[in-house]
Amino acid sequence: MTENELSGIIIGAAIEFHRELGPGLLERVYEVCLAHELKKHGLRVRSQVDMQVNYKEIELDTGFKADLLINEKLIIEVKSVKELNDIHLAQLLTYLKLSDLRLGLLINFNTRRVREGIKRVVNGYI
């Protein structure tokens, strides 16, 4: 399955459960619910995935954790904030770079319609 196909399934699942729950909950609630929905779609989902920094001969455990890793191809960063800003984008771009993955989704669930809070982020491009 391609990254684009994955992102379509993810966005559909996010919209589906956000219609029921709506905005205003903690990020962790949205993360767990999204992971549950994606597993129901047959996707491999890993939560709170360690992002290590490899520099020359050293490997640093930085404490960075990507919210969700889907099929080892796509990272999802879950937010529940008034509005997304540059630091959220930088966080996802960093995770994409550290994992050498191409595509990520930044999803802010604290919106009236979740589609308004979704940003597709491609490694190396803004």
DSSP annotation of 100: T
pLDDT band at 114 (very low <50, low <70, confident <90, very high): very high
pLDDT for 126 beyond 70: no
Non-local (6+) Cβ contacts of 38 within 8 A are 9, 10, 13, 45, 68, 70
**9-37 per-position pLDDT tens digit:** 999 999 999 999 999 999 999 999 999 99
Strands 103-108 and 118-122: antiparallel
Nearest-10 crossing angle of helices 27-40, 3-21: 120
Q: Using CB atoms within 10 A of its CB, is residue 14 exposed (0-12), middle (13-18) or buried (19+)? A: buried
pLDDT band at 125 (very low <50, low <70, confident <90, very high): low
d(CA 30, CA 62): 24
Q: What's the whole-number average pLDDT of the chain?
A: 93
**81-105 per-position pLDDT tens digit:** 999 999 999 999 999 999 999 999 9
pLDDT for 116 beyond 70: yes
